[in-house]
């Protein structure tokens, strides 16, 4: 990849095709001569030192015709690209926009490569790699939650936390190295207990981001909703009701009817959801049963929300099992408790500690369940997701390596080994965290990231 970015580049930055408005973007250290040949305005925009807007016209290629619009001009390195930047806003007419770009290219500008405007912003230090990837995340967002996540990342939410972790590690490293400089005087700049606690805190942050990145890589784009519970808890009946097909899943009074898992893609109020029905919890005694339980555990682990179904006619001897399994699951998963078959025991439905009581037979409680599901999924996603998918994929190994290095540093500190060994592991962690935000990078990494962008971004 050519990292030289002093030359002037131009590209269409708005969506292709006709529309209400079009946008041409130009950037480069020598942008003014190019614009002087192509843009006309009564304003004295060339000598401006502040971002300004100027009404005017841009000359089309091959004629004296001009396209009216407005030039937004950032004359200093305080622009997005870290160099003089101009954007021409006008009507979105593909032939006219192409002719204007052709004229700019004929007077000193070249066509921009995919992602080159954002690449220049990164190289100029205006954004880090995490924020640069968020630009593409905003463009590719498929729903409001993805858009909000990308905007949060673009605003520097994750970058700020990673930066704080790196700063904390740098402070620890400086204190350790200061102690090495005064080792003969037996001066302790930081005690081992404090050192271990601070390392543990940073490692927990890295591991949390690593788990988030793993979930993002496993995600299909839809939110995963899994029905779980003991055998004959009414899961398949509820699955059919939510899908809207009474024949979608086999329903029987015989326990253990569901052996495999079923999955259906739904769309509730614009929110894409993958609904999954799993086998009931039981002790496997043969191959099929064991495989069913493995599928069940895998799907629950990957779920954004688990609907735990407890039947109103549950046998008394199974109530303690149902409760213990539900409570154990809630320690690691987002769980919503549902009392099914409420028509069989109205009294229990009134007293049972559940979030929703429903009866598919009487068609009660289903709308309440859907609304609660959407609310819980939105709340969970907003609170737990920190990385967009492309960032998660790139950063996953760096986060894992940083966590391992911090764990090794902790162990070295706890074993009272030499401080120089602890310092080596901290430097390793700093190296991996630096790769995430782009303080350490290679041309291959940049090429892999920015080649995914469209031209003009």
Backbone angles phi, psi at 371, to 5 degrees: -65, -40
State both tokens at 214: 């793993």
87 is in an annotated binding site: yes
Closest-CA residue to 308 (of 338, 272, 270, 278):
338
Q: What is the DSSP letter of 320?
A: H
d(CA 411, CA 414): 5
- From first to last of the 457 residues of the chain, give the pLDDT tens digit: 555 678 899 999 988 777 778 999 999 988 999 999 999 998 888 777 889 999 999 999 988 899 999 999 999 888 999 999 999 999 888 889 999 999 999 998 999 998 899 999 988 888 888 888 888 878 777 667 677 777 777 877 788 888 889 989 988 888 887 766 555 555 556 778 888 889 999 999 888 888 776 655 444 456 788 888 888 888 888 888 888 876 555 544 444 444 456 888 888 876 778 888 887 665 445 444 566 667 777 778 778 889 999 998 888 888 889 889 888 888 878 889 999 988 887 766 666 678 888 888 888 889 888 989 888 877 665 545 666 666 667 778 888 899 999 999 999 888 877 778 888 899 999 999 888 888 776 777 777 777 778 888 8
234 is in an annotated binding site: yes
Torsion sign, CA atoms 285, 288, 294, 299? negative
236 is in an annotated binding site: yes
d(CA 188, CA 199): 17
Q: Which residues contact 47 (CB under 8 A, 6 or more apart)?
A: none
Fold (topology level) of 223-384: Rossmann fold (3.40.50)
What separation in angstroms does the CA of 264 have from each of 89, 272, 374? 45, 11, 16
443 is in an annotated binding site: no
456 is in an annotated binding site: no
d(CA 237, CA 241): 6
Asked if residues 273 and 261 have their Cβ atoms less than 8 Å apart, the reply is no
Asked if residues 249 and 239 have their Cβ atoms less than 8 Å apart, the reply is yes
Closest-CA residue to 375 (of 304, 301, 326):
304
156 in helix, strand or coil? Answer: coil
Asked if residues 336 and 306 have their Cβ atoms less than 8 Å apart, the reply is yes
252 is in an annotated binding site: yes
228 is in an annotated binding site: no
Q: Which residues contact 274 (CB under 8 A, 6 or more apart)?
A: 220, 222, 223, 224, 225, 263, 264, 265, 266
pTM: 0.62
Domain at 157-217+388-438, CATH class: mainly alpha
280 is in an annotated binding site: yes
25 is in an annotated binding site: yes
State both tokens at 204: 């927990």
The CA-to-CA distance between both ends of the chain, in Å, stands at 17
d(CA 321, CA 148): 40
Which residue has 């779920």 as its token pair? Answer: 303
192 is in an annotated binding site: no
197 in helix, strand or coil? Answer: helix
Q: Which residues contact 126 (CB under 8 A, 6 or more apart)?
A: 80, 81, 82
Asked if residues 86 and 72 have their Cβ atoms less than 8 Å apart, the reply is yes
Which residue has 């002790």 as its token pair? Answer: 283
Angle between the N-to-C axes of helices 144-154 and 129-140, in degrees from 0 to 180, rounded to the nearest 10? 160
State both tokens at 92: 């979105």
Predicted local distance difference test score (pLDDT) of residue 261:
65
112 is in an annotated binding site: no
d(CA 344, CA 91): 65
Sorted by where each begins, the domain ranges of the chain are 9-126, 157-217+388-438, 223-384
253 is in an annotated binding site: yes
What would the DSSP string read from start to end of 394-433?
A: HHHHHHHHHHHHHHHHHHHHHTT--HHHHHHHHHHHHHHH
H or E element at residue 375: helix 366-384
Domain at 9-126, CATH class: alpha beta
d(CA 49, CA 255): 77
278 is in an annotated binding site: yes
203: Cα separation from own chain's centroid: 20
457 is in an annotated binding site: yes
H or E element at residue 184: none
d(CA 281, CA 283): 7
């Amino acid at each position: 990849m050519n990292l030289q970015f002093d030359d002037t580049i131009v590209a269409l930055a708005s969506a292709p095709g006709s529309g209400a408005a079009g946008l041409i973007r130009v950037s480069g250290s020598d942008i003014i001569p190019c614009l002087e040949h192509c843009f006309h305005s009564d304003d004295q925009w060339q000598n401006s030192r502040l971002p300004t807007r100027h009404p005017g016209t841009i000359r089309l290629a091959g004629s004296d015709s001009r396209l009216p619009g407005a030039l937004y001009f950032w004359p200093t390195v305080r622009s997005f690209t870290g160099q003089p930047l101009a954007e021409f806003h006008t009507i979105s007419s593909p032939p006219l926009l192409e002719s204007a770009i052709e004229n700019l290219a004929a007077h000193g500008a070249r066509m921009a490569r995919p992602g080159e405007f954002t690449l220049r912003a990164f190289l100029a230090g205006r954004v880090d790699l995490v924020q640069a990837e968020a630009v593409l995340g905003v463009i590719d967002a498929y729903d409001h939650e993805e858009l909000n996540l990308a905007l949060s990342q673009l605003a520097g939410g994750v970058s700020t936390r990673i930066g704080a972790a790196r700063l904390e590690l740098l402070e620890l490293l400086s204190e350790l190295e200061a102690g090495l400089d005064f080792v003969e005087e037996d001066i302790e700049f930081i005690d081992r207990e404090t050192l271990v606690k601070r390392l543990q805190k940073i490692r927990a942050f890295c591991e949390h981001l690593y788990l988030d990145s793993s979930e993002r890589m496993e995600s299909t784009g839809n939110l995963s909703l899994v029905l779980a519970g003991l055998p004959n808890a009414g899961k398949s009946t509820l699955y059919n009701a939510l899908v809207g097909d009474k024949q979608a899943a086999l329903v029987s009074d015989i326990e253990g009817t569901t052996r495999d898992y079923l999955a259906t893609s739904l769309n509730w109020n614009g929110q894409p959801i993958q609904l999954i029905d799993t086998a009931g919890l039981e002790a496997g005694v043969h191959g099929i049963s064991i495989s069913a339980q493995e599928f069940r555990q895998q799907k629950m682990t990957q779920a954004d929300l688990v609907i735990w179904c407890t039947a109103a006619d549950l046998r008394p001897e199974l109530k303690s099992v149902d409760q213990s399994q539900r409570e154990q699951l809630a320690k690691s998963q987002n769980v919503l408790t549902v009392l099914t078959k409420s028509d069989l025991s109205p009294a229990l439905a009134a007293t049972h500690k559940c979030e929703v009581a429903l009866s598919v037979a009487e068609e009660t409680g289903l709308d309440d369940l859907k609304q609660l599901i959407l609310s819980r999924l939105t709340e969970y996603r907003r609170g737990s997701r920190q990385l967009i998918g492309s960032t998660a994929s790139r950063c996953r190994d760096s986060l894992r390596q940083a966590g391992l290095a911090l764990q090794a540093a902790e162990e070295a500190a706890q074993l009272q080994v030499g401080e120089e060994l602890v310092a080596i592991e901290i430097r390793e962690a700093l190296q991996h965290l630096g790769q995430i935000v782009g303080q350490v990078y290679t041309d291959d990494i940049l090429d892999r990231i920015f080649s995914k962008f469209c031209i003009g971004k």
